Amino acid sequence: MNSLVPAGGTSLLIDGKLVPGGSGVFATINPATEEEIGTAANASADDMDAAIAAARAAFDGTEWSRDHAFRAHCLRQLRDAMRAHSEELREITVAEVGAPVMLTSGPQLEGPVTDLTFAADLAESYSWETDLGTAEQMGITSRRVIRREAVGVVGAITPWNFPHQINLAKLGPALAAGNTVVLKPAPDTPWCAAALGSLIIEHTDIPAGVINIVTSDDHALGARLTEDPRVDMITFTGSTQTGRSVMASAAATLKRTFLELGGKSAAVVLDDADIGTAVGFTAFSVAVHAGQGCALTTRLLVPRAAYDDAVAAAAKTLSGLRAGDPTDPGTICGPLISARQRDRVERYIEIARAEGGQIVTGGGRPADRERGYFVEPTLITGLPNTSPVAQEEIFGPVLVVIPHDGDADAIRLANESPYGLSGSVWGTDPERIERVVAGVRTGTLGVNGGLWYHADAPFGGYKQSGIGREMGVAGFEEYLETKLVASPA
């Protein structure tokens, strides 16, 4: 058994102690084999209550929020502990998430761990106070100072697709800013979060109650975080539908809410682009981690005159990316996380068929995989941009190709979506590229393969893709309040 996951299963982290779940345990499943690989602590409502109480006490009763250097020290300890146990964490990630092992050297593990350095450094270098100088009102001269302070207790609710990246993208800046946290990870991937608990206890000086990790198969426990008045802020990553519920629930106490939600991003290919490069890059990315990424460009908008060539190029790429064993270093497309998610993807493929769409390649389960939640990388053509398959987030290895009639039409199609999370543009004329960049309403855009993911770069979306930004200084400041102090000059 992996040393970060004891033979009896994982534990909760509450108030500085590893404790069993009040509701026993629940199974965690390997999505590549459909086999139970172990158990995780199953928290009860009382456990969540205790975690919130611990986080509240740690924020209100310790110097954590005011000792910037100590917080940076603790975050570096966590980073170093995760690096020292990277092989154990890698094993957990591949088995529990179904993540291709090659991705653990990037966004599935090593990248997010390194990103903790940015959060730690920012805790020390950030300008916590800004002097506004003096001003006179009604004969009174005052000196004004702006202070930035931690929000308080943060409830973090995270999904299963990139658990380390999303857990740490919330924990890093929230802790660096001086907050305390209750983390509620997705039931599908509890081990990735629970492993942090062991590392925090054994290898860091993080005080009791500052981080609490509550695993459970009960989604309602996350709702308790959004409702509890002791929680000052909710940071949530997940579906837009669930995000609406989180926002509505948090409204009762008017707590701050950060939402990173769904996407149906468009890759815009202009008529002066290299079709093979643009289409090949886009098709490849859709198959990565079985398409389970909110920011993937799953709509491919190509010039009508180049439509057939684009379809052929996409089909060539996708047909060469077989869904396979995530432990194989050559695998790009692993399994979907669960039978439920596989059913969802297959349902959209059937919708495409029913609406007259053509399945150019893929469209089924791989013949050589008797077990595991696999779906072949799939290319769909012949559907309008208004089809549910082109409008709704599928979260699987499915690419839809749609023709456009020039730059303005491509911008219109890209924006004809309730989402605005990500996107890309491909071309050679800088002025035309800039018009597309300026015209597409989305939070991130890659130009000719440029990668926007970095620790210092803010990530988030327009429209129904969410509220606020994660990562970068902008993401750090989501976890801060602004206080103005005026004194006699």
Each residue's pLDDT tens digit, 67-118? 999 999 999 999 999 999 999 999 999 999 999 999 999 999 999 999 999 9
What is the residue whose two structure tokens read 């300026």? 438
Is 260 an active-site residue? yes
pLDDT confidence bin for 219, thresholds 50/70/90: confident
Q: Does residue 87 share a domain with residue 74?
A: yes
Specify if 2 maps to a domain.
no
Residue 202 tokens, joined = 């054994």
**From CA 410, how far away is CA 393, in angstroms rounded?**
20
The SS3 of residue 248 is: helix
pLDDT tens digits for range 358-381 = 999 999 999 999 999 999 999 999
Strand extents, DSSP E, 42-188: 129-137, 140-150, 153-157, 180-184
Residue 236 tokens, joined = 């949530």
Specify if 350 maps to a domain.
yes
CATH of the domain at 338: 3.40.309.10
Residue 42 tokens, joined = 């199953």
For 235-254, what is the mean pLDDT?
96
**From CA 446, how far away is CA 438, in angstroms rounded?**
13
Q: Is 155 exposed, middle or buried, given 0-12, 13-18 or 19+ CB atoms closer than 10 A?
A: buried
Taking Cα atoms as reference points, which of 140, 174, 145, 142 lies closest to residue 157?
Answer: 174
For 230-248, what is the mean pLDDT?
96
pLDDT tens digits for range 402-423 = 999 999 999 999 999 999 999 9
Specify if 453 maps to a domain.
no
pLDDT confidence bin for 200, thresholds 50/70/90: very high
For 289-314, what is the mean pLDDT?
98
Mean pLDDT of the chain: 97
**From CA 50, how far away is CA 56, in angstroms rounded?**
10
> b or e along 203-240 (b: 16 or more beta carbons within 10 Å of the residue's beta carbon)?
ebebbbbbbbbbbbbbeebbbbbbebebbbbbbbbbeb
**From CA 468, how far away is CA 259, in angstroms rounded?**
7
Distances in Å between the Cα of 182 and the Cα atoms of 55, 255, 308, 383 are 7, 15, 51, 44
The answer on pLDDT for 317 being more than 80 is: yes
CA-only gyration radius of the chain, Å: 23
Q: Would you give the DSSP letter of residue 207?
A: P
Specify if 24 maps to a domain.
yes
The answer on pLDDT for 180 being more than 70 is: yes
Q: Identify the sign of the CA torsion 178, 181, 186, 188.
A: positive
Q: Does residue 195 share a domain with residue 50?
A: yes
The answer on pLDDT for 1 being more than 80 is: no
How many CB atoms within 10 Å of residue 468?
17
Give me the residues paired with residue 180 across strands.
153
Q: Does residue 169 share a domain with residue 238?
A: yes
Q: How many domains is the chain built from?
A: 2
Q: Does residue 277 share a domain with residue 138?
A: no
| CA contacts within 13 A on the Cβ side of 488 | 1
Q: Does residue 294 share a domain with residue 177?
A: no
Catalytic residue among 96, 110, 260, 470: 260
Q: Identify the sign of the CA torsion 184, 190, 194, 196.
A: negative
Residue 377 tokens, joined = 């990388």
Cβ atoms of 268 and 414 closer than 8 Å: yes
Specify if 232 maps to a domain.
yes
Q: Does residue 303 share a domain with residue 247?
A: no
Residue 174 tokens, joined = 């929230």
Q: Would you give the DSSP letter of residue 468?
A: S
**From CA 233, how far away is CA 229, in angstroms rounded?**
10
Q: Does residue 287 share a domain with residue 186?
A: no
Distances in Å between the Cα of 82 and the Cα atoms of 37, 110, 161, 171, 195 are 22, 9, 19, 14, 9
The answer on pLDDT for 28 being more than 70 is: yes
Residue 424 tokens, joined = 């890309």
Q: Does residue 314 share a domain with residue 207?
A: no
pLDDT tens digits for range 434-486 = 999 999 999 999 999 999 999 999 999 999 999 999 999 999 999 999 999 99
CA angle 127, 132, 133 (to 5 degrees): 125
**From CA 426, how far away is CA 280, in angstroms rounded?**
12
pLDDT at 98: 98
The range of the structural domain enclosing residue 304 comes to 266-447
pLDDT at 131: 97
**From CA 211, how far away is CA 184, in angstroms rounded?**
11
**From CA 30, how far away is CA 338, in angstroms rounded?**
9
Q: Report percent pLDDT > 70 for the chain.
A: 100
The answer on pLDDT for 346 being more than 70 is: yes
Q: Does residue 253 share a domain with residue 310?
A: no
pLDDT at 8: 78
Specify if 238 maps to a domain.
yes
Residue 367 tokens, joined = 């013949």
Q: Does residue 196 share a domain with residue 135?
A: yes
pLDDT at 272: 98
Q: Does residue 204 share a domain with residue 136?
A: yes
pLDDT tens digits for range 142-177 = 999 999 999 999 999 999 999 999 999 999 999 999
pLDDT at 425: 98
CA angle 216, 220, 225 (to 5 degrees): 90
**From CA 216, how far away is CA 233, in angstroms rounded?**
20
